[in-house]
Chains A and B, each alone.
Chain A
Amino acid sequence: DIVMTQSPDSLAVSLGERATINCRASQSILYSSNNKNYLAWYQQKPGQPPKLLIYWASIRESGVPDRFSGSGSGTDFTLTISSLQAEDVAVYYCQQYYGSQFTFGPGTRVDLK
């Protein structure tokens, strides 16, 4: 099974500053036949279900603010919040959908400094 790891476990960022979250897969999740990375990012706020932010590693879901961006390929990926807003305080999860088991990373908590 593909194991997903995230770093850091948590981070505190000032309003308007950049937040960067890293995600690593235990094996490549780039499918060579279509050149797509099978990776998604989700945001979860307390008491709410997760919300899809990014899919195919870099495609922003409709309605997601453009301060959220995803990058990376193969095994290493990054979610960047370019200018943190108060409403972005949440836990962020990466997830791979390459294998037959759809594993999530352990999550990164983002707070305001």
Chain B
Amino acid sequence: EVQLVESGGGLVKPGGSLRLSCVASGFTFSSHSMHWVRQAPGKGLVWVSRITNDGSETTYADSVQGRFTISRDNAKNTVFLQMNSLRTEDTAVYYCARSSGGYFDLWGQGILVTVSS
């Protein structure tokens, strides 16, 4: 089955860290750029970060630049999002998404990250 499954979310205090994982299956993972998109409770979609298929290039939203790091392990079909210096405004459901030509044609179910003291 073609799917993306996120894990690693949870409750963390402001200033803390969390590492999200997204495992892909059912397709050639190493052929696709991968993205993270987040959605705060009751709000819209916000793009967070992108990594190219070979991991050579990464891009970040201004709001997370310098705090978040995206990486991937093509041998394990997994993309990661290391989140440091977390703020309350980072509270959201985080989705990983597969890119095909730039648009996102496959999404995970999402994982909740709550930043609160």
Interface residues of A (CB under 8 A from B): 1, 38, 40, 42, 44, 49-52, 55-56, 61, 91, 93, 95, 97-98, 100-107
- If A102-B35, A104-B47 touch, does A49 touch B61 (CB 8 Å cutoff)? no
Interchain Cβ contacts under 8 Å between A and B, 16 examples? A40-B103, A49-B107, A49-B108, A55-B101, A55-B103, A91-B44, A93-B44, A93-B45, A95-B47, A95-B103, A98-B102, A101-B61, A102-B35, A102-B102, A104-B47, A107-B44
Partner of B50, one of A1, A55, A102, A104: A102
- How many angstroms from the CA of A51 to the CA of B106 in the assembled complex? 8
Instruction: List the A side residues contacting B108 at CB < 8 Å.
Output: 49
A101 B107 Cβ-Cβ under 8 A? no
Please report whether the interface of chain A is mostly helix, strand, loop or mixed according to DSSP. loop
Chain B residues near A (Cβ < 8 Å): 35, 37, 44-47, 50, 59, 61-62, 95, 99, 101-105, 107-110
Q: Quick one: closest A residue to B61, CB to CB?
A: A101
Measured between C-beta atoms, what is the minimum distance from B68 to chain A in Å? 14
Q: A38-B102, A97-B102, A101-B61 known; A107 and B107 CB under 8 Å?
A: no
Known contacts A49-B110, A100-B59, A101-B61; A40/B104 CB under 8 A: yes
Q: Which of B47, B62, B95, B103 contacts A49 (CB 8 A)?
A: B95
CB distance from A96 to the nearest CB of B (A): 9
Measured between beta carbons, the chain A residues less than 8 angstroms from B50 are: 102
Given A95-B103, A102-B47, A102-B50, 7 more contacts at CB 8 Å?
A1-B62, A49-B95, A49-B108, A51-B107, A55-B101, A97-B102, A101-B62
